[in-house]
Amino acid sequence: MTLNAVSPWQCSSPAGEANYAAARRRYPAQAIVDLAALRDNMRHLVDVVGGPNSGTAVMGVVKADAYGHGLLPAALAALAGGATWLGTAQSHEALLLRRLGIGPDRCHILTWVYNGTEVPFDELIEADIDISVGSLAGIDALAEAARRVGRPARVHVKVDSGFGRNGFTPAGFDAALARLVPLAKEGVLHIVGQWSHLAVADSPDVPEFVASTDRQIETFKEFTRRMEQAGIAPEIRHLANTAATLDRPQIHFELTRPGIGLYGYEPDPAMGTPRDWHLTPAMTLQAQLGTVKDVEAGHGISYGRTYLTPNDTSTAIVPLGYADGIHRSASGFDMQGAKHVEKHGGPVRVMTTEGPRLYHVSGRVCMDQFILDLHGSAAALGVHEGDTVELFGPGRGEDYAEPTADDWARAADTISYEIFTCLRNRIPRLYLHAADVLAPQDVARLDPSTLL
């Protein structure tokens, strides 16, 4: 009998059961995404800004394949939850959303990463996609494309209020206005928005960072005044990411842009846990164990012998490695060279005959697998090859002891965002609750083999 560290999935139909079985045969790990959690997270974010009629709209940020959750399913769930905008960094993802059937009648789409020389501006304009401009080269190239296509381009003027990434600086803004104003008057560019990004909105515990966000807000407002004075007042302003959507209501303006909150996480554990913010992590990463065997005390585990078994024990292979996006920095060890140094690796929930136990990566993460020291006899613990173990999930209860992507982020010295965006697409993505969350015509847009 195999044990399952994850509660059984409630598949919606025999076809869902068959998809689940097929995915497990194809690959010994699965990322299961709950579309109801995505929808409910978005509903909550819409409530936080005051509801659908508050004058503040919400964009679901679905860049980077929806933070690894799957672009189209996540986008559709966000719309089901009340998002009226979608945002992608790379322009090809914005175009893909339109091509997959999310038309301009359903939502606006904003895209912001490109260089002014090779971006498919013509297609973006034709697909009714809003485009960020933050450089003079970008303005020129976009204006040329708009003339070629014969339609005004919908523009969001990106201003650098202090992030130091994209956008016009205060010193460079007169030159930008000098180009934008005539193009707007001529109708080549339609100035829709003015926007910027916050650097440290997720650190309410650090007074210097709170002050620096305050300064970014003042700078942002000054940019708005300059646009107004130049006669191209933005119709909408947007500045708030998830952190500011959750805890800076004064800067919701006409649109907010949460990303990580849609996927159910707070931006920084310094802000608390997902539950503190009424968010539910949508993705569960699980795997089926490979070899389980007994080893003696003092056995070196994995490359570099950074972990030596302290006692006679059993080990189990988790068939996921850095080629799947499991961070090598989430390795766990008790030795570095000859020195004893203890560092916990990423956590894994394993079901045993004594109930669920949390183990940690023992030794280095390899390319396709890592190893767990079970700290006991597998036979006594009832742990077998083929058992399903859980790397992270929604983070249920104290007793349930379910790890989250935040725990993996801590083990790898990174942030939850990087934990899911690094997960390679060779790990099947499977979706729960499609039929509950999406209209039938949207369910039909999804790959049927991915629906549970």
Q: Which two tokens stand for residue 83?
A: 């998002």
Cα–Cα distances (Å) from 206 to 5, 171, 200, 220, 268, in that order, read: 38, 29, 9, 21, 12
**Residue with smaller CB distance to ligand PLP, 198 or 383:** 198
416 binds ligand PLP (CB under 6 A): no
- 3-state class (DSSP) for residue 131: strand
Is there a catalytic annotation at residue 63?
yes
Residue 399: its H or E element: none
260 belongs to the binding site for ligand PLP (CB under 6 A): yes
69 binds ligand PLP (CB under 6 A): no
CA-to-CA distance for 202 and 299, rounded, in angstroms?
Answer: 43
What residues from 73 to 102 belong to the interface with ligand PLP (CB under 6 A)? 89
Measured distance CA(390)–CA(411) in Å, rounded: 16
CB of 96 to ligand PLP, least distance (A): 17
Residue 267 near ligand PLP by CB under 6 A: yes
Quick one: which of 16, 73, 259, 332 contacts ligand PLP (CB under 6 A)?
A: 259
Q: CA-CA distance, 124 to 93, in Å (whole number)?
A: 11
Chosen residue from 32, 38, 61, 282 binding ligand PLP by CB under 6 A: 61
Determine contact, residues 115/143, Cβ cutoff 8 Å.
no
Residue 367 assigned to a binding site: yes
Distance CA 274, CA 267 (A): 9
User: In which region does residue 67 sit, left (phi positive, over 0), alpha (psi from -120 to 50) or beta (all else)?
Assistant: left
Q: Which is nearer to ligand PLP, 285 or 415 (CB)?
A: 415
User: Does 322 qualify as catalytic in the annotation?
Assistant: no
Give CA separation, 60 vs 102, 164, 227, 393, in Å.
Answer: 13, 23, 26, 21
121 DSSP 8-state letter: H
Shortest spacing between CB 79 and ligand PLP, in angstroms:
17
Catalytic residue selected from 185, 293, 303, 400: 303
Name the 3-class secondary structure at 15. helix
Measured CA to CA, the distance from residue 77 to residue 36 in angstroms comes to 7
Q: Which stretch binds ligand PLP (CB under 6 A): 186-194, 209-217, 256-264, 421-429?
A: 256-264
Q: How far is the CB of 36 from ligand PLP (least distance, A)?
A: 20
For ligand PLP, which residue of 39, 69, 197, 357 counts as binding (CB under 6 A)?
Answer: 197
For residue 165, say whether it is annotated as part of any ligand binding site: yes
Residue in 20, 63, 265, 359 annotated catalytic: 63
Establish if 70 lies at the interface with ligand PLP (CB under 6 A): no
Closer residue to ligand PLP (CB): 241 or 331: 241
Binding interface with ligand PLP (CB under 6 A): 61, 63, 89, 197, 241-242, 257-261, 267
Q: Could you give the residue numbers annotated as active site?
A: 63, 303
